[in-house]
Amino acid sequence: MNVLGIEGTAHTLGVGIVNGSGTVLANIIRSYPAEEGIHPREAANHHAANVVDSISEALGTAGLEHGEIDVVAFSQGPGLGPCLRTVATAARALSLRLKVPLVGVNHCIAHLEIGRLRTDARDPILLYVSGGNTQVIAHTRGRYRVFGETLDIGLGNMLDKFGRANGIPFPGGPVMEKRALKSSNYLQLPYSVKGMDVSFSGMLTAALNLDAPLEDKCFSIQETAFSMLTEVTERALAHTRKNEVLLGGGVVRNERLREMIGIMAKERGASAHVPEGEFCIDNGAMIAWTGYLMHGAGMTLPVRESHIRQNYRTDEVDILWKGPTKDF
């Protein structure tokens, strides 16, 4: 069985093809260049302009004909309305044309499932840190539950906003990581962990108002924000008695964040897992693989019920497929 998955929740358009053995046959990623931040309508136009070619390219890479696709999956939410509607339209059209089932996939769950496929993690705590999302997710009682999340903006957005205000083009995170390496001068910034939740907007305001060298500010933002994430991830491990941490989302490309999570996991006797870069960022293969699992559990969508879900919550989805089995 071959499943074609289309990702398009934000600035990245992805088309992936995965087979039933979990082999990724293609993973085409085309990002809208969001130098000035993401304009939803323009990102959607980018996806519309590129989706047909990306599907052809994915089929070519996989060495498959259209007729060899058995299921079409798409990112149903959460995300930006215009982007979601564009890829949903493409997925519906393809599913009708090929006369194959359609599966709507929750984007955050797809990050977790591709991580389980690509690493040794079996029943992990997922620390998912991207532009728009920051969540700590784990499987308990038949669903992926959100144990903690940002109360305001995603960490990636915070880094990008700070970067933009300091003349760093989008995406700010990677440049700030390099700048941070040049400093070890920690400046106090608001450390906001509220229960299991985190908040970044106060830190952003404080950092923007600091009169200090950019290197020191980048270093201090990283140290503070990543410590907050490490704290809530550790608490989720303790609470669920799980012993694996999985990282996902664009921000986890950051070596310092990986290092902090790695040290915390090691001290607890837990393991840390990071998928390869193309599976950390938004991608079509994760939608295809989750679509494969969901299709196997009968979770397909009639086209008339395939509306997008801008605020689709991770914990709304019953895990009817063979997900992690251990429970606490």
Q: Which residues bind ligand AMP (CB under 6 A)?
A: 12, 130-131, 156, 159-160, 171-174, 177, 249-251, 253-254, 281-282
> Measured from the CB of residue 78, what is the shortest distance to Mg ion in angstroms?
10
Interacting partner of 291 out of Mg ion, ligand AMP, none (Cβ under 5 to 8 A depending on kind): none
For the CB of residue 99, give the shortest distance to Mg ion in the complex, in Å: 30
Q: What is the DSSP string of 27-94?
A: EEEEE---TT---HHHHHHHHHHHHHHHHHHHHHHHT--GGG--EEEEEEESS-HHHHHHHHHHHHHH
Helices (H), the chain: 40-62, 81-98, 107-118, 155-165, 172-180, 201-209, 214-240, 255-268, 277-280, 284-296
CB of 97 to Mg ion, least distance (A): 28
CA separation for the pair 18, 323 (Å, rounded): 17
Q: Give the nearer residue to ligand AMP in terms of CB position, either 162 or 292.
A: 162
In angstroms, give the least distance from the CB of 58 to ligand AMP.
19
What pairs with residue 134 in β-bridges? 129
135 binding partner (options ligand AMP, Mg ion, none; Cβ < 5 to 8 Å by kind): none
d(CA 259, CA 272): 10
Decide whether 27 or 254 has the Cβ nearer to ligand AMP: 254
Chain centre to alpha carbon of residue 304: 27
Residue placing its CB nearer to ligand AMP in the complex, 281 or 299: 281
Amino acid at 225: A
Least Cβ distance, residue 157 to ligand AMP (angstroms)? 6
Give the residues lining the site for Mg ion (CB under 5 A).
130, 282
Rounded least distance, CB 253 to Mg ion, Å? 12
Q: Which does 77 bind (CB under 5 to 8 A by kind): ligand AMP, Mg ion, none?
A: none
CB-nearer residue toward ligand AMP: 148 or 248: 248
Output the CA torsion 121→87→30→149 (10° steps).
-40
CB nearer to ligand AMP: give 103 or 218: 218
Nearer to Mg ion, 75 or 240 (CB): 75
Exposed, middle or buried: residue 32 (CB in 10 Å: 0-12, 13-18, 19+)? buried
Residue 300 touches which member of ligand AMP, Mg ion, none, C-beta under 5-8 Å by kind:
none
Beta carbon nearer to ligand AMP, 28 or 62 = 28
- DSSP structure class, residue 318: B
Q: Considering CB distances under 5 to 8 angstroms, the limit depending on partner class, which of ligand AMP, Mg ion, none binds residue 160?
A: ligand AMP
